[in-house]
A and B are shown apart, each in its own frame.
Chain A
Amino acid sequence: MAEALLEVSGVVKRFGGFTALNGVSLAVKPGERFGLIGPNGSGKTTLINCVSGVLPVTAGSIRFEGREVTGLPPHQRSRLGIVRSFQIPKPFTSMTVRDNLGISLEYAGARRAGAAGHADADEILRSIGLGAKAHLRPGGLTQIEMRKLELARAMAARPKLLISDEAMAGLSSTEVDDILDILFRLNAQGITIIMIEHIMRAVMRFSERVLVLDAGERIAEGTPDQVVRDPAVEKAYLGE
């Protein structure tokens, strides 16, 4: 097996007396499409917050490209190539769509601003289908456009690993396909992707490997087919 791009080992996260993650380990290979699923409250977003650095871990370690990143703040992790989108879109509302991308281009991506940055931003926006909206403020976007902006802004940071946190929740099935297409294309460009999703059809179609969390513990891992047949997974989702 090739050296893992992201290696999470024994990560524990406690909030006071509540254990949100109880010794979770996973390894994502370069170029992989990795799915992360689990019932509500199973710790998926907490895990992503620990990987992106938004939350400090209580115990355990996170390595990226063989490098220890456990103690790094989020902005340094994003510069190394770990970039996430947010479940609830958090656009920079006072800026145009283009300038939203400009921030990640300037601070994490190509490290350039001005005209060259504009051209890069416009290219990303065109590729994702937001080309005509570059001059608008995010307030004027529809729900799906907002999700696309989240992804476009993450792309502008030039990620090696893109973590997509429920980019499709609440979208119609054609819109889900639209987002899936974008993620497939990014992956084809060599970007490793972790997808967190509730929409089973999407995760199962997209992922090469799936990890299932329940109550902060890893209960199954394997190909989508293996995972859906796993009795432990069935129990977690449907009960006894």
Chain B
Amino acid sequence: MRGPAGAVLVGVVVVAAGIGLALLKVNPYIYFAGYVILQYVVIATAWNILGGYAGYVNFGTPAFFAMGAYTAVLLIKSVQAPLPVLLLAGGLVAALLGLGIGYLTLRLRGTFFSIATLALAVVLQTVIMNWEYVGGSRGISVIRPPGPPFGSYVTFLFTVMVGLAVVAVLAARFVERSWIGRGLAALRDSEEAAECMGVPTLRLKLFATTISGFLLGVAGAPFPYYVTFVEPNSAFALEYAVNALAMPMIGGTTSWIGPVIGAVLLGTAAQIATVTISSEMNLFIVGVVLVAFVVLAPEGLLGLARRLRGH
């Protein structure tokens, strides 16, 4: 199961299991919550390609996610585009944005890069708030297409998100194990040394920012159909910025499985907290867990496991 073929096989099994679960028609809340957790698997995985592999910490996740969501809003309102088109277009717009921040890395490194991405999110949110066609600051209602498979639209979106999560994780795993991943790890450790040892650092960074942006945009594209009412504060929510970096850091940033573990654990905990305590507890829990990990296990659960095995 170590080769790419084995990984794809596992991916297919996961998608089949997702469809199987959709056919079971269990409590609708399961699909509703499952969608959010899977969406975080995509977001955390996408963030980690840039933040974990290349070491460029992006605080602007909401900007990319919202680009996907608002591209979808625009296409739904203007031409009633079908879901596959929304996913692709949302991904491409966010990928372009990613390419743009890739060029920022020419001049901005470390904290300065992170601050720039944060500013980007604020600027884009302001633009959207003043764009009446997509709802402006009041928001916009989106009507779901009729007759979804699996009976309900949320159940259908759940299966879509299973597929997207599998694609994102496979992509991240492929990047990590290829020459690209090794080059990104080298430039994360020392950009100057990597460049002097033959690593085309700019090209690799542009690749990382673009693919990371693409996957974040794809994660945001089904969002309008999921919530049916899109407004800037929910599409640009702080939660995305915090979770996108907290989940990989808790799981472990150096391997593709880290963000998956982090997203499933933290995403599930947040869903349980929302139901049993209150929705405000979400970010509180994430914050406390993140601080604990940064102090006690800076290499995440994967690093902790390695240390326990004595490596």
Contact = CB atoms under 8 A, between A and B. Distances in A.
Contact of A75 (B179, B190, B201): B201
A113 B188 CA distance: 19
A54 B192 contact: yes
A95 interface: yes
Contact of B182 (A93, A108, A113): A113
A198 to B, nearest CB: 22
Contacts of A84: 196
Interface in A79-109: 79, 83-84, 86, 90-95, 99, 102-104, 106-109
B200 interface: yes
A164 interface: no
Interface in B175-233: 179, 182-183, 185-186, 188-190, 192-202
Contacts of B183: 103, 107
Contacts of A52: 196
A75 B198 contact: yes
A156 B199 CA distance: 13
A35 B181 CA distance: 37
A224 interface: no
Given A75-B198, A78-B198, A91 B193 contact: yes
B254 interface: yes
Nearest to B196: A74
Among B182, B190, B197, the one with the most A-chain Cβ atoms within 10 Å of its Cβ is B197
Given A94-B254, A106-B179, A78 B197 contact: yes
Contacts of A83: 196-197
A107 B199 CA distance: 6
Given A102-B182, A103-B182, A106-B182, A94 B198 contact: no
A65 B228 CA distance: 65
Contact of A113 (B179, B186, B197, B199): B179
A93 B189 contact: yes
B108 to A, nearest CB: 18
A94 B194 contact: no
A54 B254 contact: no
Contact-size category for B: 20 to 34
Nearest to B202: A73
Contacts of B190: 90-93
A124 interface: no
Contacts of A90: 190, 192-193
Contacts of B201: 75
Nearest to B194: A103
B188 A75 contact: no
A9 B227 CA distance: 65
A75 B199 contact: yes
A209 B281 CA distance: 71
A54 B193 CA distance: 10
Interface string B244-277: 0000000000100000000000000000000000
Contact of A92 (B193, B195, B202, B254): B193
A13 interface: no
A3 to B, nearest CB: 25
Nearest to B195: A74
Interface string A214-236: 00000000000000000000000
B186 A92 contact: yes
Contacts of B193: 86, 90-92, 153
Contacts of B196: 52, 54, 74-75, 78, 83-84, 86
Contacts of A74: 195-196
B106 to A, nearest CB: 11
Q: Give the 5 A-B residue pairs with the shortest CB-CB distance, closest first.
A: A108-B198, A107-B198, A104-B197, A92-B189, A90-B193
Interface of A: 52, 54, 73-75, 78-79, 83-84, 86, 90-95, 99, 102-104, 106-109, 113, 153-154, 156-157
Given A73-B200, A74-B195, A94-B188, 17 more contacts: A52-B196, A54-B195, A73-B202, A75-B197, A78-B196, A83-B196, A92-B193, A92-B194, A94-B254, A95-B185, A95-B189, A99-B182, A103-B182, A104-B198, A106-B182, A108-B197, A109-B198
21 contacts: A54-B192, A73-B195, A73-B200, A75-B195, A75-B200, A75-B201, A79-B198, A83-B196, A84-B196, A86-B196, A91-B189, A99-B182, A102-B182, A103-B182, A103-B183, A103-B194, A106-B179, A107-B183, A108-B198, A154-B197, A157-B198
